[in-house]
Every structure is written in C-alpha cells, then in structure tokens.
Amino acid sequence: MEAISIGLLGLGTVGSGVVKIIENHQDKLMHQVGCPIKVKKVLVQDPVKERTVKIDSSLLTVNPEDILDDPDIDVVIEVMGGVEDTRKLLLETLKRKKHVVTANKDLMAVHGSELLTVATENGCDLFYEASVAGGIPILRSLVDGLASDRITKMMGIVNGTTNYILTKMSQEGLTYETVLKEAQRLGYAESNPASDVEGLDAARKMVILGTLGFSMKIDLDDVKVKGITEVTEEDLQYAKQLGYTMKLLGIAQREGEKVEISVQPTLLPASHPLASVHNEYNAVYVYGEAVGETMFYGPGAGSLPTATAVVSDLVGVVKNMRLGVNGSSFVSPQYEKQLKKPSEVHSKYFLRFHVEDEIGVFAKITALFSNNNVSFEKILQVPLKDKASEIVIITHHASLENYENILVNLRDLAGVKEIKSSYRVEGGAGV
C-alpha cells in the first residue's frame, strides 16, 4: 500500500494540529482510506523557530517549489492564511494537478469561485470545511447531509471572539473595552481585533454559507455588516430585562428567489438555542423546508478542532482518489442572485433613545411609528436626570425601509434628545 504524501503550507496553530492528528490518528486514517498518509514537506517562514509540535527539520522548507515540483506530493493543505499570494500559490498548485484542502475563509470568500472552477478544470478536489466554524462540520452538512432539502434560512454565531466578548459583558456587566483587553490577554482576540469586532470575519463566513446553502453566488459586498464596537453594558442589561440575549449573528434568509445576508448584533429570546451558546463557541441554526430546524454546535476555532475539519477533508480527497472521482464534487451555483430590497426585509427591532420628559412628546413618537406602519410589542420608560426619560422599545415585525425611515425622522423630532442604540430582534414564532 503506497502512502499518500502531503505538502503542508504553514505550521502555525492549525498546521501543528494537522501534523499531530495525522501522526496520532494514523491507524484510524489507514482504516478509512486503506493506505498510510504522511507529511512529506512543510512550507514555513522560519525553519529554526521553536514549535509546539516535533517535526523532522529535513521536512521543512522556505521554498514553495519544493512542494509544487515534487511529483510524489498528491495533496496540498493550506493553513498559512493570507489572500493574494496564497491565491496565486493555490492556483499554481491546482494547475499542477495537486488536490487542495484549505482552512482559509478570507481566500474562499473572495476568490472561492475562481479556485473551484480551476480545480474542476484540472480534475482536482478543493475542499474547505475548516474555513467556517472550525471543528463544526457545517459545510459538509449543507452540501451532503441536507442536499435534498431547500434551505430557507441560516442564522449563526460564527465568530468566537465576539461571542466571548458579548458573553462576558452580559454575564459580568463589564464594558466592551475591559472585556476586549481580557480577550487579547487570553489569546481569544488579536492585538488588532478589527476583523472580528467589526464583523468582517463573520461576513466572510456568511458569504461561504450563503453561496453553498442557497446555491447562489454571494459576494462580500452583498453582506450588510455591523460589528459590536458600539454595544454598551446598558444595551445588554435592557435586553436581559426584556427577556433577550445579544449575539453577533450572521443571518442568511431566502424567500422565494430573493435573499438577504447580514452580520449584526441581534437580540434573541433567552429561550432560543443560540442564546445559550457562550464564550468562544460557535453554532449555526439551519432551517430547511423538509427537515425543519437543525442546529450545529461546537468549537469554532483552536488548533485541534480546526485541524480535525482539515484532516476530514483530506480523508475525503483520498477516498475520491481511490474511487477516481476527484474534481467532480463542485456544483456551480444553480440560481441567479437576487437580493431583497429594504422594503422586503422584515424583522422586529430594539430601539433605545432619550427624550424630554414633556407632555405630548410620546404622542408624537407614537404617531411617527404609526404613520410608518410599525407597532410596539414592548415598551420601557425610565426617568433620567434633568427632566428626561430613557425609552426602550421592541417593535412588532416591520420592513427595514419603514424602520430606517423612522430612525431618520426620530432624530429630527422635537423633544427627542438622542438615539442611543438600535438592533435587530430575531427568533420569535415563525422566524
């Protein structure tokens, strides 16, 4: 039984996990694919750097050609990150008829369509399960497990850093800045956390989920993105008082042939399954017309969870090699992309604002909402100093167009001092 040889691009957190799993689970892998799997060459930046995994220094190289030119290397695993240079390297890898497994969501969100097309043209597999939600097999579930169903909605916590921050803020009443510093100290947040906290990381993952789940080519520009940097402890306490928990949610929803994709801080009823997903964990809620509601939960990052998804993809590639069916798994999007207009996007909303405590102010506010066909589900009014009040409203379902019109006009309404915050509300009956 001839061994399958692997070229590994990157030996950081995930790359080290891949090496450990291939070494420690060799008997399991042998049973799955019928032959040994070995790492033959590893591309690194610094061959003498101290690492968490023991590896023969003769396997390390700083030259990508040592992997691309090796005829014995059948599969290249990319876990080094980056976009443009990595794209060029993987395109060349596929053109040399080597299969690719990647954990790179930034690359797949922006250039996935191009790479998958080139893979198919060259009879190669390109698998990327680890690019979304770490160790949770969500992409495989969409492509295989739910292949016969029509997905109508995917809603998920797909970024562990922001979930950790919101969990700590909510449970301990701490400020965003305090929790962010703690998350950076513990390694849950990068020294520059912008990609996570501003929602871009989650948006890239929703591009991948939306493209696969709806069989429609979704682009990053199609995703409406709002991060968590403006969330306050007051917002979270009011949410809790009204029976809600806040999460940074990726939401992809289809009605008929039209879709909406967004990433934004969202209030969920405390009884909703996603509300109990805490700290760095991820979860994706999938609604199918036939299956109903399913939820996929687990660690969204980390060395071994992510490496597990990578090696599972590797097993899939090797099984396809044994069957002679590589390069046939990619199915191009079935539907033309049609995005919903703001008038077609419906949700409930949380709104918090300050008003002058004067007769007639609330009547004007009520009239503004009524004129835009938006009604109140819950209202809190809290006295403030200097003859002012804080008003917190949860609306009934309303169109985004009408709600945004209310926000614009509310700012100019006599007696309204300041709009403090506004968030989407999800998870009621039938949504």
Query: Cβ contacts of residue 349 below 8 Å, gap of 6+?
Result: 393, 394, 395, 398, 403, 422, 423, 424, 425
Can you tell me the distance from the alpha carbon of 280 to that of 298, in angstroms, rounded to the nearest whole number? Answer: 9
Residue 207 host element (H or E) = helix 200-214
- Cα dist. 416→276, 358, 372, 394, 408 in Å? 35, 10, 18, 18, 12
Angle at 237 between CA 184 and CA 347, to 5 degrees: 95
Can you tell me the distance from the alpha carbon of 213 to that of 294, in angstroms, rounded to the nearest whole number? Answer: 13
Can you tell me the distance from the alpha carbon of 360 to that of 71, in angstroms, rounded to the nearest whole number? Answer: 80
Dihedral angle of Cα 166, 425, 108, 193, to the nearest 10 degrees = -30
Tokens of 320: 């396809």
The 10 Å CB-count burial string (b at 16+, else e) for 291-323 is: eeeeebbbbbbbbbbbbbbbbbbbbbbbebbee
The 10 Å CB-count burial string (b at 16+, else e) for 11-32 is: bebbbbbbbbbbeeeeeebeeb
What is the residue whose two structure tokens read 């209310």? 406
Judge residue 234's burial from the number of C-beta atoms within 10 Å of its C-beta, 0-12 exposed, 13-18 middle, 19 or more buried.
middle
Nearest residue to 163 via CA among 302, 281, 295, 334: 281
Is residue 205 annotated as part of the catalytic site, yes or no?
A: yes
| Helix, coil or strand: residue 161 | helix
Which residue among 205, 226, 247, 340 is the active-site one?
205
Tokens of 77: 């695993």
Active site residues: 205
